[in-house]
């Protein structure tokens, strides 16, 4: 009997593969086959994404979750098939994305979770390198090896390896500890004039990535308000006070904006800058606090060594909150 419909139960959970409970059931979907077709297509990515919480408070933690899709198949008469039914599909989910030219459901990188092969850090400052632990066995930082272990728990899937201060080269190896997957060059920048600022953002691969801005920083703010005309006449004296305002200001607030400059970087970093423009989540380490920011620059012209010789970017950000606290 031909396929007629499916029932999908979607579980999103933390822990190890297959350890979901009834309370982890997030969605139940039913769909009939479209006449003339042989397959039933269900899109679950946006549903799962609702349960991938991306946050940063100074601590780098894995945001990965396990997903179990339990599918029950029915024929055109509504009878359940008996062979391999229901069928369970298990996935590890990260909140990343693919580009149009990569095609439908592209497989993202499964080793180092950054797109560029360069990292810029201030001198004498440690950094973080996000990796996907399932495919990485060893990370060699200069001459020091770090063995990567993955116990299957979702909180182990994205691991943030500490890059010691003044590191020069990072080599990432596969699970056999011998296959070189990627080499990353670390640039340690001495900036004697300006204060470098660290921006942490969610990149294309679903990981948190650091990006330092080394050059000139400008802070400004834009004020919003409303006015209404008051009746300031004193009915008893049929007069008004000259120090009473007729045009009353209200709903006053402001948004603070930061303009940051990367300093000179390699052309390879264009991919990182592009992902920063496209991110939905970003933070800045600013005056001792981790604060949410939003990239408000909407246009980007790629700079290349051929056209521009030296590559640097100036980007505008806005804090993700109002200047006057109006949270009630």
- Is the same domain home to 210 and 278? yes
Contact 12, 24 (CB under 8 A): yes
Same domain, 124 and 78: no
The predicted structure's pLDDT at residue 106: 87
pLDDT at 64: 95
In a shared domain, residues 136 and 197: yes
Does the structure show a pLDDT above 90 at 107? no
200 inside domain:
yes
Entry pTM? 0.91
Same domain, 196 and 71: no
> For residue range 243-263, what is the model confidence (pLDDT) as tens digits?
999 999 999 999 999 999 999
Question: Could you tell me which residues are beta bridge partners of residue 116?
Answer: none
Q: What is the mean pLDDT of residues 3-23?
A: 95
Identify the domain containing residue 162 by its residue range: 118-218+254-319
Please give the pLDDT value at position 261. Answer: 96
* CA–CA distance, 125 with 157 (Å, rounded to integer): 25
Are 178 and 274 in a shared domain? yes
29 with 131, same domain: the answer is no
| Helix H or strand E encompassing 305 | helix 305-308
The answer to whether position 181 is within a domain reads: yes
Same domain (yes/no): 85, 122? no
Q: Which of 71, 116, 115, 110 is nearest to 94 (CA)?
A: 110
Residues 84 and 163 in one domain: no
| pLDDT band (50, 70, 90) for residue 32 | very high
Residue 65 lies in a domain: yes
Task: Tell which phi-psi region holds residue 309, choosing left (phi > 0), alpha (psi between -120 and 50) or beta.
Answer: left
Mean pLDDT score of the chain: 94
Same domain for 50 and 128? no
Number of structural domains, the chain? 2
The string of pLDDT tens digits covering residues 63-98 is 999 999 999 999 888 888 877 789 999 999 999 999
Query: Do 81 and 122 sit in the same domain of this protein?
Result: no
What DSSP line would sit under 227-252, residue for residue?
A: EEE----BTTTTB--TTS-SEEEEEE
Q: Is 227 within the bounds of a domain?
A: no
């Amino acid at each position: 009997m031909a396929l007629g419909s499916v029932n999908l139960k979607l579980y999103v959970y933390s822990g190890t593969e297959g350890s979901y409970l009834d309370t982890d059931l997030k969605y139940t979907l039913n769909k009939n086959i479209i006449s003339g077709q042989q397959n039933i297509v269900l899109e679950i990515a946006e549903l799962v994404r609702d349960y991938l919480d991306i946050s940063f408070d100074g601590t780098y933690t894995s945001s990965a979750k396990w997903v179990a899709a339990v599918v029950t198949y029915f024929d055109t008469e509504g009878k359940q098939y008996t062979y391999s039914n229901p069928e369970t599909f298990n996935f590890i989910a990260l909140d990343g994305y693919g580009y149009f030219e990569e095609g439908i459901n592209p497989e993202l990188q499964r080793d180092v979770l950054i797109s560029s092969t360069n990292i810029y850090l201030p001198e004498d400052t440690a950094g973080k390198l996000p990796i996907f632990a399932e495919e990485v066995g060893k990370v060699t930082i200069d001459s020091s090896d770090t063995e990567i272990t993955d116990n299957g728990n979702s909180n182990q899937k994205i691991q943030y390896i500490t890059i010691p201060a003044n590191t020069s080269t990072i080599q990432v190896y596969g699970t056999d500890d011998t296959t070189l997957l990627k080499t990353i060059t670390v640039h340690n920048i001495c900036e004697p004039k300006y204060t470098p600022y660290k921006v942490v953002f969610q990149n294309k691969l679903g990981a948190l990535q650091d990006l330092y801005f080394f050059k000139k920083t400008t802070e400004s703010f834009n004020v919003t308000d409303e006015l209404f005309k008051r009746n300031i006449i004193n009915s008893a004296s049929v007069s008004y006070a000259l120090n009473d305002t007729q045009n009353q200001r209200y709903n006053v607030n402001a948004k603070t904006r930061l303009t940051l400059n990367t300093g000179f970087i390699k052309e390879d970093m264009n991919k990182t800058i592009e992902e920063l423009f496209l991110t939905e989540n970003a933070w800045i380490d600013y005056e001792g606090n981790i604060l949410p920011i939003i990239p408000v620059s909407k246009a980007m012209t790629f700079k290349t060594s051929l056209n521009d010789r030296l590559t640097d970017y100036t980007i505008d950000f806005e804090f993700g909150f109002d200047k006057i606290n109006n949270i009630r």
